[in-house]
Amino acid sequence: MTNLFTLRRAFVINQILIRHGLDEFLAPTPLSKVTGILKLFALSSNQKKQLNRGQRLNQALTELGPIFIKLGQMLSTRRDLLDDDIAIELSKLQDDVQPFDGDIAIAIFEEQSGRTIESCFQHFDKQPLASASVAQVHKATLIGGEEVIVKIIRPGIRKKIQADLKLLHLLAGWFEKYSAVGKRLQARQVILDYQATLYNELDLRIEAANTSQLKHNFNNSPLLYVPRIYWQHSHEKVMVQERIHGIPIGDIPALHAANVNMQKLAHRGVEIFFTQVFKHSYFHADMHPGNIFVNTSDPENPSYIAIDCGIMGTLNESDKRYLAQNFVAFFNRDYKKIAQLHIDSGWISKHIVAEEFESAIRTACEPIFGKPLDEISFGHFLVQLFQTARRFEMGVQPQLVLLQKTLLYIEGLGRQLYPKLNLWETAQPFLQEWLKETYGPKAVYNKLKTKVPDWLEQLPDMPEKVVTLIEQAELSQQNQLLLVSAVSELKSNQQKSSIGLRWALLGLAFIISCAFASSYWPDIENLTPTLLGLSLVSFVLSFRS
């Protein structure tokens, strides 16, 4: 039954894609065999051809529904894999769907919390403030008077997601098996990543924990404000969060009307990004315009407000060092350094010729420097770098893909706010200071200073540990001697066995000769006893060996 439903749904998807003139995406799959029949029912296919393929794919995914819209949004971040015309149009997909009834929202809250809506809120607005594919948001006021928003997971959404994911896995398998583009996109891995993201969004406790962590990281910061989570009212399918008030970052006319210092706002956005990445190693990975607001209470010193922390990125020390050194090398046009960083990190195979990789990076990045400095993009540098590195067998680094997506968002927003934004001017001192603080003499001293208390604590135990280490070394040496002795004995036994086998074969040869002698040379009386005697001596020597 499930297989029948999946195939029927795949048939419908095929029909919708053909209607939007997207036959090229279906050509390699088994369903392509019926595209000729489906074209009879896809009467608007030719009319759609006036749009570019990215626009047509945008419309097709919108028609297919919420799960496919979210897939398109995620794919739009993979600039290292997709052509620009497709990635740009997919980034315009809007996750805005029909809301579910407010009474159902109240029932879900009461089932999750075990309390009535009246015992938690002075007021709960049944009309949703916003509605998306996985959850919707309602305004409310707590008993204490605090204004909040209540985010509630859609009823039955898990089953719908599971059904669509099953179909997407099937289509991705076909796409990867029958299409060179599918192999390059690593379609099945993309769907696995998408699945992990979707299932995380179904548990609002994950988003609540992410929000609390980000708020802690920017506690009392003039740069970024993160709303408070009310944990006593938050559960798997419900999250209650402080309601914020600000101007959406995309509303440029409203920001100008509020006399906001746009240059400072743009620079602060870049500073927030680099602070999250290099100081906290934990960054908001979904900073599109719908999730960012501006506090304009002090227009000369505007601050950001971030919401929707469902997707967060983390970086380890190796990742941060890789990024910082690559950015610095890029602006110094030191392509040899970039190539060596990839090889040293182990992301590029050791057998790759460094000079070839360096040449490929130079070819990809030099055109970027043809632009004015205030138009050079860190994000597009990373896109070019990842695309080039993939040709040299670099595997997907999910944390860096998230970071690339976030950086493209931040750059786009920054230049929308202040077109003359010079990212390098903001980033260079930050990166160089971070490298100095992390790997300079002061950093080494600070690391030693933090380790000294542990060393002092372990000092009384050091004599015993040294004795144990010496004993283990001696035992290891004894084991090595035993091993050498055993190998020597084994070689000796092999030599003896080899000699014994030779005597046995010689004895067998004498017996065969004796048989021939008695049959063909009976006149030679002493030959048979002589051969038997030699055979006996050979066997005795064989057994002794």
**Tokens standing for residue 17:** 């894609």
Extract the runs of DSSP E, i.e. beta strands, from 414-521.
none
Bin 186: left if φ > 0, else alpha if -120 < ψ < 50, else beta: left
With beta carbons less than 8 A apart as the criterion, state whether 290 and 246 touch: no
Matching residue, tokens 């074209």: 39
DSSP state at residue 279? I
**Half-sphere exposure (Cβ direction) of 480: Cα atoms closer than 13 Å:** 6
Q: From 171, 189, 168, 190, select the one nearest 179 (Cα to Cα).
A: 171
Alpha-carbon distance of 310 to 202, in angstroms, equals: 10
Q: For residue 512, count other CB atoms closer than 10 A to its CB.
A: 12
Residues with catalytic roles = 286
Q: For residue 88, count other CB atoms closer than 10 A to its CB.
A: 16
State how far the alpha carbon of 467 is from the alpha carbons of 454, 471, 479, in Å: 20, 6, 18
**Tokens standing for residue 62:** 């919108």
Coil, helix or strand at residue 131: strand
Matching residue, tokens 């009309």: 127
Q: Position 267: which residue type?
A: H
With beta carbons less than 8 A apart as the criterion, state whether 390 and 80 touch: yes
Beta strands 247-248 and 224-225, pairing class: unpaired
Q: From 263, 272, 261, select the one nearest 226 (Cα to Cα).
A: 272
Matching residue, tokens 């891995």: 189
Listed in sequence order, the residues at least 6 apart from 49 whose beta carbon sits closer than 8 Å to its beta carbon are 21, 56
Alpha-carbon distance of 229 to 290, in angstroms, equals: 19
Alpha-carbon distance of 152 to 429, in angstroms, equals: 43
Alpha-carbon distance of 260 to 482, in angstroms, equals: 80
